[in-house]
Amino acid sequence: MLNFSAPDLTQHPPRSVRVRLGGYAHLPRLLDKARASAAGKLAGYKYNCPLDRHFFAFAGINPEELLAAAGTGKSDSEMLAWVRERAPRAAHEIRSWSEWLELNGPGGAAGHEWFAESIKAHAGDRDDIRSFADLLDLDDYVSFGGKG
């Protein structure tokens, strides 16, 4: 049985970047990773990775403070209230940022090369993987036994 209060990311992936909480894309995934980190069950996932840092920069939240708050057992609703206290963003800003994050992909040539190699490793014949969100969904799926 899955325990979403203390996710075990050795057993299942965090939620998709596309799942939203309070309009924020990636926040549920970030909370899953923070809770798993606090429980010592982060597995190969990384807390405060580059995608996480996009959220922290947009929200103006310190990663260590979110990690500490998530480790206290707060629910998603309580964590959303915590985020809202620290990040007074308008709904249209959150929506625009979330849409951008879901579509964000590699920038320069080196990023495109790494991205292409990552796709080849999982599903070389796919032509629909365009964003980091697409790639993370694919990686999570194949990491837990799915076929790309």
Read off the pLDDT of residues 51-95 as tens digits, 9 standing for 90 and up: 999 999 999 999 999 999 999 999 999 999 999 999 999 999 999
Q: What is the model's pLDDT at position 62?
A: 98
Same domain, 6 and 68: yes
Q: What is the model's pLDDT at position 1?
A: 65
Same domain, 25 and 98: yes
Q: What is the model's pLDDT at position 86?
A: 97
Same domain, 94 and 141: no
* Residues 6 or more apart in contact with residue 116 via CB below 8 angstroms: none
Read off the pLDDT of residues 107-120 as tens digits, 9 standing for 90 and up: 899 999 999 999 99
Read off the pLDDT of residues 114-148 as tens digits, 9 standing for 90 and up: 999 999 998 889 999 999 999 999 999 999 998 87
Q: What is the pTM of this model?
A: 0.93
How many domains does the structure of the chain reveal? 2
Name the DSSP class of 12: S
Ramachandran area for residue 62 (φ above 0: left; ψ -120 to 50: alpha; else beta): beta
Same domain, 100 and 110: no
Q: Domain range holding 33?
A: 1-104
Same domain, 10 and 40: yes
Q: What is the model's pLDDT at position 3?
A: 73
Same domain, 114 and 71: no
2 has pLDDT over 80: no
Same domain, 94 and 109: no
